[in-house]
Amino acid sequence: MGSLDVQIDSIADDSRKVKPGGLFVAIRGNRVDGHAYAEQAVARGAAALLVEKACKVDVPQLIVPSTRRVAPIAAQWVLGDPADDMVLIAVTGTNGKTTTATLIEQVLLAMGHATGLIGTIAQRCGGVALRDSGMTTPEAVELANVLREMRDLGTKYVVMEASSHAMELARVAGLAYRVAAFTNLTQDHLDFHQTMDAYARAKGKLFSRLGNRFTPLADGGLPVAVLNVDDAQASVYAAETVQQIVTYGIDHPADVRGRDVVIRADGTQFVIDSFAGSAEVHLATPGRFSAYNALCATASCLALGIPLQAIAKTLSSLPGVSGRFEPVRAGQPFAILVDYSHTPDSLQNALDTIREFCTGRVITVVGCGGDRDRTKRPIMARVAAQRSDFFVLTSDNPRTEDPEKILDDMEAGIRDVASERYARITLREEGIRAALSVAQPGDVVLIAGKGHETYQILGTTYHDFDDRQVAKRIVEEQVQ
């Protein structure tokens, strides 16, 4: 097995990413067991292994009960504790994580802070993309590597989305957050968590474990939980943290409270009252939910000591986030919006928002992802039916499921809806075409579900597909 006296300076949980002299962590996955790749890892130069059972290779092996649980801590140690040198801000919740994290990132950048972002769309440093994201929250070892990369680039603040998968799979274990923010809790990911209770508990770990490491935080501050008082789950999380809490909301009294919310087609205006004074904000994205994301970002930035006026000024100057209520303008006499609403709640919010400013009909294109929560499918179809004048059920990312089966699951929720009120068109491009071909001046066409995605996953293959480009091309073809 060799001597344990080896110098390790890199770590990987994927045999294909092992560097010579590095530590390979074998993780039992859903599809394969990482231990099966021990030989491959050693062939690539792994100097030691972190395993749950001894593997037949001639390098030192550290055997632990759960490599998944040890990986986050091992990764931070091997890489020189990069997280401890930066101020970490985490955003969790079913909807609004990417948007809120981006708002916080932009405020920090505007204040002149070297800031990184780790989220669904991309991993960024100083506002510049390092790479597109494969996941919302990377696995622990990749996350540690990204944090090390960011620290080496001089980053002081890192804003990251903390998905429920990440919390359940210990991807973010042991990280000492300065701010942990909660947007909201509604149904999603029941394929993975099984029950809403388990889903809520996974997210709750961010708050119950907040500040449970004795590491001094990089800016000398103390941990703060930022909670949305208008979401019933907030009181549960509030009871679970022993750290300071900053609340935000609109309907209920809060430390950071929005009022006089005005929603227009091109944005949202509201006033923030807080312990740091009052300020008016003009957002480029319409919707009450947009005000909530901005309030969450404001409360988080106030917790970091940034003045309210500076926060409000930056929030008011930002364009929208890619694929979130993003308009497609190709000269058509009706509006087209591409939005990442892929949960019942986000779809409902998107459609309720559109109804507030739409002078014509609301037309919706909607699908549901394959290999994901099946129980949300009939609900999403129902939400679309209740809130659209006409809607098209089509494919999202079918992944390894039969697209027709996904559409059957969706249709089960709208058995009582008249067949002329909707179309079922399996090919997404054709679904979008059908919706655009019936649109009249004043109508709004919402293309929901894929937002910023530039691909469609059929089987395990990623095919080029961008709702924004497809819609633009179809409009241009229809004009000719």
Ligand X SMILES: CC(=O)N[C@H]1[C@@H](OP(=O)(O)OP(=O)(O)OC[C@H]2O[C@@H](n3ccc(=O)[nH]c3=O)[C@H](O)[C@@H]2O)O[C@H](CO)[C@@H](O)[C@@H]1O[C@H](C)C(=O)N[C@@H](C)C(=O)N[C@H](CCC(=O)O)C(=O)O
Ligand Y SMILES: N[C@H](CCC[C@H](N)C(=O)O)C(=O)O
Residues annotated in a binding site: 15, 93-99, 136-137, 163, 171, 372, 396-399, 449, 453
* Distance in Å, CB of 453 to Mg ion, minimum: 12
In DSSP terms, 286 is beta-bridged to: none
Q: Is 397 in the site for ligand Y (CB under 6 A)?
A: yes
Binding mask 279-318 for ligand ATP (x = CB under 6 A): ----------x--xx-------------------------
In DSSP terms, 339 is beta-bridged to: 448
**Which entry of Mg ion, ligand ATP, ligand Y, none binds 369, CB below 5 to 8 A by partner kind?**
ligand Y
- DSSP code, position 477: H
Closest CA relative to residue 112, chosen from 318, 320, 314, 279:
314
What does R_g of the chain's alpha carbons equal in angstroms? 23
Smaller CB separation from ligand Y, 12 or 337: 337
Smaller CB separation from ligand Y, 174 or 323: 323
Rounded to an integer, what distance in angstroms lies between the CA atom of residue 224 and that of residue 255? 13
| Residue whose tokens read 């021990």 | 38
Q: How many residues bind ligand Y (CB under 6 A)?
A: 9
For residue 314, CA distances in Å to 103, 318, 373 come to: 9, 6, 37
Range list of β-strands (E), 238-380: 244-249, 256-264, 267-274, 277-283, 326-328, 335-339, 362-366
Contacting ligand ATP within 406-465 (CB under 6 A) = 451
Per DSSP bridges, beta strands 61-63 and 87-92 are: unpaired
Q: Is 367 in the site for ligand ATP (CB under 6 A)?
A: no
Structural contact between residues 286 and 263, judged by C-beta atoms closer than 8 angstroms: yes
Question: Under 8 Å CB-to-CB from 234, ≥6 apart: which residues?
Answer: 182, 227, 228, 247
Helix (H) or strand (E) holding 131: strand 128-132
Binding site listing for meso-2,6-diaminopimelate: 372, 396-399, 449, 453
Rule CB under 6 A: choose which of 106, 247, 346, 397 binds ligand ATP.
Answer: 346
Smaller CB separation from ligand X, 139 or 231: 139
Q: Is 452 in the site for ligand Y (CB under 6 A)?
A: no
Binding site listing for ATP: 93-99
Smaller CB separation from ligand Y, 403 or 449: 449
Q: Is 290 in the site for ligand Y (CB under 6 A)?
A: no
Rule CB under 6 A: choose which of 161, 453, 466, 467 binds ligand ATP.
Answer: 161
Structural contact between residues 374 and 409, judged by C-beta atoms closer than 8 angstroms: yes
Q: Is 155 in the site for ligand ATP (CB under 6 A)?
A: no
Q: Is 106 in the site for ligand Y (CB under 6 A)?
A: no
3-state secondary structure (DSSP) of residue 89: strand
Q: Is 397 in the site for ligand ATP (CB under 6 A)?
A: no
| Residue whose tokens read 């942990």 | 180
Helix (H) or strand (E) holding 39: helix 38-43
Q: Is 145 in the site for ligand ATP (CB under 6 A)?
A: no
Smaller CB separation from ligand X, 165 or 472: 165
Rule CB under 6 A: choose which of 35, 372, 377, 387 binds ligand Y.
Answer: 372
Binding site for Mg ion (CB under 5 A): 97-98, 120, 136, 161
Binding site for ligand ATP (CB under 6 A): 95-99, 120, 136, 161, 183-184, 289, 292-293, 324, 339-341, 345-346, 349-350, 451
